[in-house]
Amino acid sequence: MKKFSIMAVALAVALLGAGPAAAAKPDKPPKPPKPPASALVAVSLDASPMWVHEDADVLEYTVTLHNKTSADIDNIRVELSPGSEPDDSSGFVLSANETQTLEFSRAVSQFPGRCVEPGEECDLVAKAAVLLGTEVMTQATMSTPLMPYPSCGLEDEVADVTGGTCIWNPPNAGTWTVSLEPTPPSNPKRHSDVLVTVRDHVPGNWCGAWSGKWRPDDGPVEVSVHLPANGVCLAGGAGGEFFDIGNPESVYLYFRPAGIISVAPTVTVPPADE
């Protein structure tokens, strides 16, 4: 009995010494997720001109970046494909809330898998990737229609054309005379509606044009064409808009109806305004 009393007293002392159980520590709130890289920088991609037609045409791209945060972002890089820039790996700082633009040029010949046959049409797709170091943050794409046109066949300055648009590569700038002898209408008593336009691009600036009604006894239709040395004709384009574009090697001729066309230089020295 005495042994039992001693054990009961020891147990009571142990329980009293232990005191209340310690409260459990509350869990720490989870850290907010890291915003995606695309939420840091906005990017847009624009191209000029609106259409291209041959390998020698050049597309001018503008990449616009905007830092959407209140902190500077270091080591930003931009890569435009196809092709690459020599200084792509250098990186730069995009300051807080800053907007920057970068310019790139790409020839049509740099796009793999492009359509090349007259009458075909395809899209040239460029992609601007914005990188933070080596990580792609965001990207934008731009599609430009490629519509190949046939050559006018004016290497010997005379060609038989079926009508429509063709590409002429004049050997010299200056003033030229473009002549069209339309195919006579089936009824010689009737007239033909004739249209001749010469542009530096499609769409582009007017280098020369003629339209009207034509009869076989009227003789060839002649159009005086002014071709500046820089390939950009001086007149405005459709609606008076000026297109600061052009491939100095090419001029676009449109004829209606079919017939024999010829070209002859009248002034082969580049105009004084150039």
Of 259, 245, 267, 249, nearest to 214 by C-alpha is 259
What is the C-alpha radius of gyration for the chain, rounded to an integer number of angstroms?
A: 36
Of 171, 157, 167, 172, nearest to 200 by C-alpha is 167
Evaluate if residue 272 carries a pLDDT over 50.
Answer: no
| pLDDT tens readout for residues 169-199 | 888 888 999 999 888 887 777 888 999 999 9
Evaluate if residue 68 carries a pLDDT over 90.
Answer: yes
Token pair 């384009």 is found at 237
CA atoms within 13 A on the CB side of 100: 16
Q: So what's the pLDDT on residue 6? A: 52
| pLDDT tens readout for residues 217-257 | 888 899 999 988 888 888 887 777 787 776 778 889 998 88
Evaluate if residue 260 carries a pLDDT over 70.
Answer: yes
More confident position, 89 or 202? 202
Global model pTM greater than 0.75: no
Q: So what's the pLDDT on residue 229? A: 84
Q: State whether residue 15 is helix, strand or coil.
A: helix
More confident position, 153 or 269? 153
Evaluate if residue 54 carries a pLDDT over 70.
Answer: yes
Give the CA distances from residue 57 to residues 2, 136, 147, 193, in Å, rounded to whole numbers and listed in that order: 111, 30, 11, 32
Evaluate if residue 89 carries a pLDDT over 60.
Answer: no
Q: What is the DSSP string of 206-217?
A: EEEEEEEEE-GG
Kindly state the average pLDDT of the residues 151-161. 86
Q: So what's the pLDDT on residue 20? A: 58
